[in-house]
């Protein structure tokens, strides 16, 4: 397993992180989820990412069970706060001081740990002053409940404003967690340059584009039985945008490129995001242990310029690059 620094910080993490967004507590049974975590540990993954909102807190509980008994100092556990949990009342979401302080305690209880290595703002909160949010995060760090802080799906100008406050408060803002893949490159023009300047690293999610970059979805054919596109608990909604014949045809054209570097399509997709020097880790999910084993083989792979250019040629015209696609919802509009 390749080990990288998280941004410019001293925190070292596995280049492949294990995430349980669409699996633990929802799409797969607990025994299967536990088996996937055990396999991740066996493969050298030390970094585990979750959030309080995943399966309405159940994902944190499952991850806590899966990691129980492991040497805590040998793990990096990440979680997040913003989206509604519990009954979803007016203070059950957002980045107010109240919600942050209550949420960190709930997350620690469910995860079975005294602290998380990284506590992340899961979206930007338009209704709460950024100063209030950052001070609350600073107090979480000073209380020893989190070692570092990060954000997720924030725009470049939002990251810059948070970084300025973090410097004033003397707390380590070290990461952003955006969607990033061969097909979704909205961070490249603004977020990545800003983050490089500020010493912030990317911990990217969906490097395989919800499974589309595995090549298992074929143009003109129904999705395979049991695939994410057939899941009615949220998975199908997330993958639907990629299930267009022009995209699926291009993905199939990537197959000879993957074969030329002795990788599967999924491994090529994960390796591709790791070529970006601002990416500290790629988050993978799994519903079966063998998926973990396959995807970790992307760690440490170096793709040459010719291979990267060939990928760009194949995908030209179906890649999303507009930085305006990074959007944080207004709580008043979504939750009342």
- 305, burial (CB in 10 Å: exposed 0-12, middle 13-18, buried 19+): exposed
Specify whether the CB–CB gap between 7 and 174 falls below 8 A: yes
The predicted structure's pLDDT at residue 266 = 94
- 232, burial (CB in 10 Å: exposed 0-12, middle 13-18, buried 19+): exposed
- How far lies 236's CA from each of 31, 211, 231, in Å? 23, 11, 5
Rounded to whole angstroms, the Cα distance separating 287 from 285 reads 7
Tokens representing 129?
């002053």
Strand 116-121 and strand 146-151: the pairing is parallel
Q: pLDDT band at 24, cuts 50/70/90?
A: very low
Residue 133 is inside which H or E element, if any? helix 130-142
Tokens representing 20?
């349980």
Bridge partners (DSSP) listed for residue 4: 13
Q: pLDDT band at 31, cuts 50/70/90?
A: confident
Q: pLDDT band at 23, cuts 50/70/90?
A: low
Mean predicted lDDT score pLDDT of the chain: 89
Contacts of residue 107, defined as CB under 8 A and 6 or more positions apart, other chains included, come to 52, 60, 79, 81, 116, 119
Specify whether the CB–CB gap between 202 and 280 falls below 8 A: yes
Bridge partners (DSSP) listed for residue 159: none
Tokens representing 232?
């009615």
Cα torsion through 236, 237, 239, 240, rounded to 10: 100
Q: Which domains can be identified in the chain, with CATH numbers? A: 3-334 (3.20.20.100)
**Catalytic entry in 54, 119, 148, 180:** 54
Torsion angles phi and psi, residue 236, rounded to 5 = -60, -35
The per-residue pLDDT for range 219-270, each reduced to its tens digit, is 777 766 655 554 555 555 666 677 788 889 999 999 999 999 999 999 999 9
Average pLDDT over residues 72-79: 96
Rounded to whole angstroms, the Cα distance separating 64 from 58 reads 10
Strand 12-14 and strand 47-49: the pairing is unpaired
**pLDDT(25) > 50:** no
Which of 194, 200, 192, 204 has the alpha carbon at shortest distance from 175?
200
Contacts of residue 135, defined as CB under 8 A and 6 or more positions apart, other chains included, come to 97, 169
Q: Can you count the helices (H) and strands (E) in the chain? A: 13, 10
Specify whether the CB–CB gap between 296 and 16 falls below 8 A: yes
54 annotated active-site:
yes
The per-residue pLDDT for range 269-326, each reduced to its tens digit, is 999 999 999 999 999 988 888 889 999 999 999 999 999 999 999 999 999 998 998 9
Angle at 135 between CA 130 and CA 137, to 5 degrees: 95
pTM of structure: 0.89
The predicted structure's pLDDT at residue 234 = 52
Bridge partners (DSSP) listed for residue 281: 203
């Amino acid at each position: 397993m390749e080990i990288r620094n998280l941004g410019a910080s001293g925190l070292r993490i596995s280049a492949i992180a294990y995430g349980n967004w669409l699996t633990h507590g929802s799409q797969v049974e607990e025994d299967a989820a536990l088996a996937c975590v055990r396999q991740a540990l066996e493969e050298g993954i030390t970094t585990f990412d979750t959030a309080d909102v995943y399966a309405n807190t159940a994902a944190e509980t499952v991850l806590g069970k899966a990691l129980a008994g492991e040497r805590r100092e040998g793990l990096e556990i990440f979680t997040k706060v913003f989206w509604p949990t519990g009954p979803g009342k007016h203070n059950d979401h957002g980045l107010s001081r109240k919600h942050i302080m209550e949420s960190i305690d709930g997350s620690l209880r469910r995860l079975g740990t005294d602290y998380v290595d990284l506590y992340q703002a899961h979206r930007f909160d338009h209704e709460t002053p950024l100063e209030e949010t950052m001070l609350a995060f600073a107090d979480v760090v000073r209380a020893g409940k989190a070692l570092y802080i990060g954000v997720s799906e924030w725009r470049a100008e939002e990251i810059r404003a948070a970084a300025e406050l973090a410097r004033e408060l003397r707390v380590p803002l070290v990461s952003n967690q955006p969607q990033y893949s061969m097909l979704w490159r909205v961070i490249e023009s603004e977020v990545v340059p800003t983050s490089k300047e500020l010493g912030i690293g990317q911990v990217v999610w969906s490097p395989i584009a919800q499974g589309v970059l595995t090549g298992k979805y074929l143009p003109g054919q129904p999705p395979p039985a049991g695939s994410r596109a057939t899941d009615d608990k949220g998975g199908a909604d997330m993958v639907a945008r990629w299930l267009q014949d022009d995209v699926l045809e291009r993905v199939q054209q990537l197959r000879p490129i993957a074969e030329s570097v002795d990788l599967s399509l999924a491994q090529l997709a994960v390796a591709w995001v790791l070529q970006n020097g601002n990416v500290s880790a790629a988050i993978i999910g799994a519903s079966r242990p063998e998926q973990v084993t396959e995807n970790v083989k992307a760690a440490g792979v170096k793709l040459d310029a010719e291979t990267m250019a060939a990928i760009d040629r194949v995908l030209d015209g179906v890649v999303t690059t507009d930085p305006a696609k990074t959007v944080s919802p207004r709580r008043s509009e979504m939750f009342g």
